Amino acid sequence: MELEFKYRNLLIEVIEGDITEVKVDAIVNPANSLLIMGGGVAGVIKRKGGPEIEEEARKMAPVEIGEAVVTSAGRLPSRWVVHAPTVKRPAGRASLESVSLATRAALTAAEKVEAQSIAFPAMGAGVGGLDIREAVQTMLREIVSKVEEGTSLKKVVLVAWGEEALNEFISAARNVLK
């Protein structure tokens, strides 16, 4: 099951799957400030896309929470990986504020490289330790805010890992986008 929402000129899709397989211009890595791609989403991106993604990212480290950098996507179907830190150190704990700042930074970075579409995992959930629904609601509030200000993005895909996570994503989307 997947859901689509239209918010002004932005299509927001909520799907279940592997973010590294989504066909969009850019995917988001909820990174640490050092851009070490060890576990969680970052680890999967590195394994599937190739170590060159981390090598390219590390040259730009450290990156503060609220900033984002863009690298190539290696062997992934996307063109870019947007590295937006939600935590300072690997395996650190995220906050809803860091998720908000990282989401905003990722959207801005995607616009700078003229991406039309971007995919996000549950920023700050998983390794970051946040509740999925709260994290996704926070992300969606930032996405809506960005649209209100004006954005060149045409599509945002929220990618849930597993059916349980998908239900949380859908609940969050219905709550924020009602």
pLDDT at 153: 98
CA distances from 155 to 63, 66, 67, 116 (A): 26, 22, 21, 7
**Confidence (pTM):** 0.97
Note the pLDDT of residue 29: 98
**Dihedral (Cα; 40, 17, 65, 55), 10-degree rounding:** 60
Domains annotated for the chain, with CATH where assigned, are: 3-176 (3.40.220.10)
- What averages of pLDDT result for each successive group of 10 residues across the chain (178 residues)? 90 97 98 95 97 98 98 98 97 96 98 98 94 97 96 98 94 90
- pLDDT at position 132, please? 96
pLDDT of res. 2:
82
